[in-house]
Copies of this chain bind each other. A is one copy, B any other.
Amino acid sequence: MLGRIWRFLVGPVLSTRRVRHERLPVWLALPVFASDALSSSAYATEEMMLVLWSAGEEALRLAFPISLAVVTLLFIVVFSYRQTVYAYPQGGGAFIVSRENLGEFWGILAASALLVGYVLTVAVSIAAGVNAIISAFPALLPYRVELCLLFIAFMTIVNLRGARESGLVFAPPTYGFVLTFAILILVGLARGFAGDIQPAPYPPYGEGTQALTWLVILTAFARGCSALTGVEAISDGVAAFRAPESRNAALTLLLMAIILAGLVLGITYTASYFHVLPLKNEHGEIVETLTSRLARTVLEGTPFEWFYYVVQAATMLILILAANTAYVDFPRLSSVLANAQYAPRQLANLGDRLVFNNGIILLGILSALLIIYFRGDTHSLIPLYAVGVFIGFTLSQAGMARRFARLKPPGWRIGMTISGFGAFTTGLVFMTQLIANFRYGAWITLLAIGVLMFLLFKVHEHYMEMKVQLQPRYTPPRPLRHKVLVLVPSVHQGVLQALDYARTLVPPERIEALHINVDPRPPAVYRRVLKRTKGEEPELHLVTPAVERLQHEWQTFVPDIPLKVIDSEHRSLVKPIEDYIDELLEREQLDQLTVIIPEFYPRKWWHHLLHNQSAWILRLALMKKRKVVVSTVRYFLER
């Protein structure tokens, strides 16, 4: 039943032969790999300006300069990553680059930061996407968390079905988003310079609650840096590009940086120009996003007010795509870690639909928990987000610098300078993130990364120890001292069959039979009725104890094997059997004991309920015993 629901949701099983890799031209690779990075422009400016606004109207003038700093950082990172895509034409994510060049520890740190980052990508992108919907339809505000969870469930199912990273699926929403915002910014600038729109009044909340200190500026910058999240995606996916892979990937990186820079600068400039800030309700909850306010302001009074809904739809769609990127990358990295024996190996299992089911489900659960805990509030999630991403940036670029220093390819000095400078800058920004956002939640990310690293190393240790222990060793074959113990609940056809089976394994003198009498003194009062046979007169006669009857039947049907009967004082079945086995192993110095549990297998499922589950319980208990092999011989009931 559960199997059928699963099959309906995820679709029919796919053959392994259908694993294939699409090779993307630049114009299709851009939407696939850049959607995550570009989508962050939907919330980066908002977060930055909210911080500045808390320091007063004057502070908002710093918005554009700070966004220039963010864009500068973007280009530093991108130029550094261009070197990575040339060095790693097979794909060089932060995990691979750090592990190869900095060593095991840094690789696992990068992997942990990436995994935590993917969970946050899903949570932040889905929350921001839902914000876009709520801005357009404020009536949905009370259902924010429910909407987020609905989207997560939807994305989990879609990915379990095996959504391929098809360029043709990604192209329309990504290009649509870029085009929509380009139009919005240009129209806004044109109307603004023409004096067609008056700057909006400032919103009525939180102005000047703090002084404009350096910490505020750093915090604003740190929040603005959330625009850089997702930039690393291309370096990881070079193998998916059409040849020449590295050149095309480098070109795509540059294109992406230019577009993203345009979006961030454009949105920040127009928003500052028109005094646009997000709208909060009386509970301090953001009910309309900055980009939504911007779109309304720019389009107000024109015949194109309907275009507002296009803007919101485009925003929502690209954010969903960004979450999808994490849905592809998280399970893939988990499976790499599992194959490298750092993560539980279940994460490396390719599922029915050629995707890593367990990783997808894990990501869905973790991001849903984040959404629930933070009530789907992007503003609370952003401080957690960027800090992990910058760990990845720093390690990846430090790794590249180290690589240049070691391998010394032609032009290595310039390469090392670029990567080293990138590592230094992103390292600084990481420190900034940490200082500015620590009390707003960055500590949670650090803690999560630390715990994850610990777990990964623990798991690795176990797998390595196991590998050593399981190393095949040649041992000369020797005859094992082996006996078979048949458990006898009563004398019935199933037990006789189990005995026949035992006889095929060993000669009769090496078979033992054991009966546990769990009811040595049955309550006598009611036995009388049971003995009454139909039609006969009921009479008070003494009941032969069940054990005597059993022994009599045993002698009739199994004369050659003695039956050992043990009374169980506490009516437990398991304990006396365990004790007897221990004694037997000890007494006869056995190397191996096969315990045969006869069991009947009913024809209908509900019949299972009518039988004591002793076989199950025994199997579970005997599983823990060394030298014991448990064999279940089933007798199939025909009716």
Residues of B within 8 A of A482 (CB): 504
Residues of B within 8 A of A638 (CB): 469
Residues of B within 8 A of A349 (CB): 571, 612
Residues of B within 8 A of A344 (CB): 609-610
B526 contacts A339, C-beta separation under 8 Å? yes
Given contacts A100-B532, A630-B631, A491 and B462 within 8 Å (CB-CB): no
B350 contacts A519, C-beta separation under 8 Å? yes
A520 to B354, CA, bound (A): 12
Confirm or deny: A380 has a beta carbon within 8 angstroms of a beta carbon on chain B. Answer: no
Residues of B within 8 A of A335 (CB): 526
**Residues of A1-53 whose CB lies within 8 A of B:** 13-17, 19
Closest Cβ neighbor of A354 among chain B residues: B571
Closest Cβ neighbor of A599 among chain B residues: B623
Would you give the shortest CB distance from A473 to chain B, in whole angstroms? 6
Would you give the shortest CB distance from A219 to chain B, in whole angstroms? 38
**Residues of A505-553 whose CB lies within 8 A of B:** 505-506, 518-521, 523, 525-530, 532, 538, 540, 553
Q: Which of A162-170, A288-296, A411-419, A494-502 contacts B (4 or more CB under 8 A)?
A: A494-502
Q: Pick from B472, B528, B607: contact of A90, CB below 8 A.
A: B528
Q: Pick from B13, B504, B569, B624: contact of A601, CB below 8 A.
A: B624
Copies of this chain held together in the complex: 2
Residues of B within 8 A of A527 (CB): 339
**Residues of A461-484 whose CB lies within 8 A of B:** 462-463, 465-466, 469-475, 477, 479-480, 482
Confirm or deny: A329 has a beta carbon within 8 angstroms of a beta carbon on chain B. Answer: no
Confirm or deny: A361 has a beta carbon within 8 angstroms of a beta carbon on chain B. Answer: no
Confirm or deny: A336 has a beta carbon within 8 angstroms of a beta carbon on chain B. Answer: yes
A526 to B99, CA, bound (A): 13
B469 contacts A639, C-beta separation under 8 Å? yes
Confirm or deny: A198 has a beta carbon within 8 angstroms of a beta carbon on chain B. Answer: no
Would you give the shortest CB distance from A494 to chain B, in whole angstroms? 6
Confirm or deny: A564 has a beta carbon within 8 angstroms of a beta carbon on chain B. Answer: no
Closest Cβ neighbor of A90 among chain B residues: B525
Given contacts A90-B528, A521-B17, A465 and B639 within 8 Å (CB-CB): yes
Would you give the shortest CB distance from A557 to chain B, in whole angstroms? 5
B503 contacts A600, C-beta separation under 8 Å? no
Q: Pick from B340, B469, B610: contact of A345, CB below 8 A.
A: B610
A540 to B492, CA, bound (A): 64
Would you give the shortest CB distance from A547 to chain B, in whole angstroms? 13
Would you give the shortest CB distance from A29 to chain B, in whole angstroms? 16
Confirm or deny: A629 has a beta carbon within 8 angstroms of a beta carbon on chain B. Answer: yes
Confirm or deny: A75 has a beta carbon within 8 angstroms of a beta carbon on chain B. Answer: no
Confirm or deny: A146 has a beta carbon within 8 angstroms of a beta carbon on chain B. Answer: no
Given contacts A466-B600, A492-B470, A521 and B612 within 8 Å (CB-CB): no
Please give me the 6 A-B residue pairs with the lowest Cβ-Cβ distance, nearest first. Answer: A470-B492, A631-B631, A13-B570, A482-B504, A336-B526, A344-B610
Given A19-B523, A336-B529, A466-B600: 20 more A-B contacts, CB < 8 Å: A16-B568, A17-B521, A19-B521, A90-B528, A335-B526, A336-B526, A339-B530, A345-B610, A346-B612, A349-B571, A459-B610, A462-B602, A462-B607, A465-B639, A469-B637, A470-B493, A475-B496, A480-B500, A501-B592, A601-B623
- 21 A-B residue pairs with Cβ-Cβ distance under 8 Å, sorted by A, are A15-B569, A16-B519, A16-B520, A19-B523, A90-B525, A90-B528, A91-B525, A100-B532, A345-B610, A345-B612, A459-B610, A462-B602, A462-B607, A466-B637, A470-B492, A470-B635, A471-B493, A477-B500, A480-B504, A623-B634, A630-B631
